[in-house]
Structure 1
């Protein structure tokens, strides 16, 4: 009889890192372990994985841990980072802004406690590049659609840039909601800026340069309209969740910026009518338009910013 060898399934340490970390930090025993035992657990977890992966996973697991567990970890993690050599990795990640915005301040605090000079981190230049806005109010007498885009440098040396463009619709049923988005590829900054202007100049549309505060206010105001109109976020925007959090939600507030959190984002990603369904109806049947007296009519085959000429923007 021939014995068959069982296939060995190799699971990489990186795959199991987050579950193992979650299990350790969810255990009430963590609260009663001494510092040496917790550091020993961290040493084991950090084996055979890259420093970048470990630090990123550590912050995500920390955010998911209980308040009591976080308090205990606050006592140990900064010193362990310094002793293990991972503080240098964390410092680089803070400089590159590769962490989620809501843990950037925590990361800086841990670095300071670990003995790292954070003066240059606190004064690092913003990666914000440009923001542009356009609406068609001058053309129609009131806004029908609008466009806002945010561009940012993707590295501190400012060699490449990327952006997110938001298309807003003020016709029913959108009533000011985000209708679609486009995430641009990474390009040299000058090339990206030229591309954005070239796309919109085709239709004689001149973009207005705006500040980061106004850009954030326009975008978040539109998202409150999504919530009120019960329209889900566009599929591409849900996929760009991390970019939205890092590059839009982290922009400075203006005096009229509405409150909006990533919990609100996640709610809108799961609830409401799918915008792709509404756009499909508009493309195949017609669009609803609200007249000056409030009456709504259905306009068949009306061409505007969804034409192929502006596809994706």
Structure 2
């Protein structure tokens, strides 16, 4: 009984915090001066709204608020948020939101579009978001594919973390991303042993690819997700 009560109170607190964050965001975005507000002003407002809140909580709230904003503010967010996340090396959070079934399909689709924009081929490869790039591995055949993206996870560059993207070339996927996995931080040797070697042992000969090629493959697959309406 006590545990049920504590769980209910915890859920209520989370919902209360979520509502408070959304109200804060609405207030910040309502003050955007569309005619004069540039990228730095908009980002400053977003960062003000983040005070005391993790990006893991903030980004879903922003995406949930997006559909009810004016087209002008939506356009500003579409233009400035993806590169902002890319420069903070946080665009990978969008991948997590893409597969969060607690969020609506509309919100997950916007996360996919922002991720595609953040990782677009026009983004400079040597931008801050790529400075942490460690290594990527890729394999594909007529039926399936996988790309494993690893980056330095600490300032001292002693560990690597990453994400894995499973690609399915069979109908109805047609080359879309079927699943995304989180790869927790560990040493470089452990990363290869845990995240790469198991695929190699199954006969998939993964090859090393650079940051630009890894981004190109992921963007190409995300475009198929959009075209085939797969989320």
TM normalised by structure 2 equals: 0.50
Where in structure 2 are the equivalents of 1:173-212 lying within 5 Å? 173-212=172-211
State the superposition RMSD in angstroms: 4.5
Q: Identify which range, 181-190 or 126-135, moves more after superposition.
A: 181-190
Distance 1:94-1:157 versus aligned 2 partners, 3 A rule: farther
Q: Residue in 2 aligned with 1:224? A: 223
Tell me by how many angstroms 1:134 deviates. Answer: 1.0
Task: Give distance in 1, aligned partners of 2:155 and 2:172.
Answer: 41
Which of 131, 154, 176 is the equivalent residue of 2:136?
131
Partner of 1:36: none
User: Which deviations, in whole Å up to 9, do the C-alpha atoms of 1:56-112 show, x marking residues without a partner?
Assistant: 96xx87x978769xx9xxxxxxxxxxxxxxxxxxxxx9996458899xxxxxxxxxx
- Corresponding residue number in structure 1 for 2:150: 151
1:191: how far off?
Answer: 1.0
**Counterparts of 1:159 and 1:10 in 2: how far apart (Å)?**
37
Distance in 2, matches of 1:195 and 1:218, equals 22
Q: Which residue number corresponds to residue 7 of structure 2?
A: none
Inter-partner Cα distance in structure 2 for 1:214 and 1:95:
19
2:145, 2:168 within 8 Å by CA — same for their partners in 1?
A: yes
SS at match of 1:167: strand
* Contact residue 127 and residue 156 of structure 1 kept, 8 A: no
Is the alpha carbon distance of 1:94 and 1:225 closer, same or farther for their aligned partners in structure 2, counting shifts above 3 Å?
closer
Q: 1:18 to 1:53 in 2, by over 3 A?
A: same
**Which digits, 9 at most, give the CA deviation of each residue in 1:20-43, with x for residues without a partner?**
452365269x89xxxxxxxxxx9x
Deviation at 1:147, TM superposition (A): 1.3
Q: Is 1:23 matched up with 2:22?
A: no
SS of residue matched to 1:185 = strand
Change beyond 3 A, Cα 1:151–1:22: same
Change (3 A) 1:125 1:227: closer
Which of the pair has the greater relative contact order for Cα pairs under 8 Å at 6+ separation? 2
Q: How does 1:109-120 map to 2 (within 5 A)?
A: none
How big is the shift at 1:126?
Answer: 0.6
1:171 CA displacement: 2.1
Offset of 1:222 from its aligned partner? 1.5
Equivalent residues in 2 for 1:35-54, closer than 5 Å: 51-53=51-53
Rate the CA distance shift 1:212–1:179 in 2: closer, same or farther, 3 A.
same
* Counterpart residue number, 1:88: none
Alignment of structure 1 residues 1-313 onto 2, 5 Å: 16-20=20-24, 22-23=26-27, 25-26=29-30, 51-53=51-53, 97=89, 126-136=131-141, 143-230=142-229, 232-233=230-231
Q: Is the 8 A contact 1:165 1:182 kept in 2?
A: yes
Query: Which residue in the other structure is 1:250 paired with?
Result: none
| Unaligned 5+ runs, structure 2 | 1-11, 35-44, 77-84, 95-113, 115-126
Deviation at 1:170, TM superposition (A): 1.7
Which structure has the greater CA radius of gyration?
1
TM-score for the superposition, normalised by structure 1: 0.39
SS at match of 1:53: coil
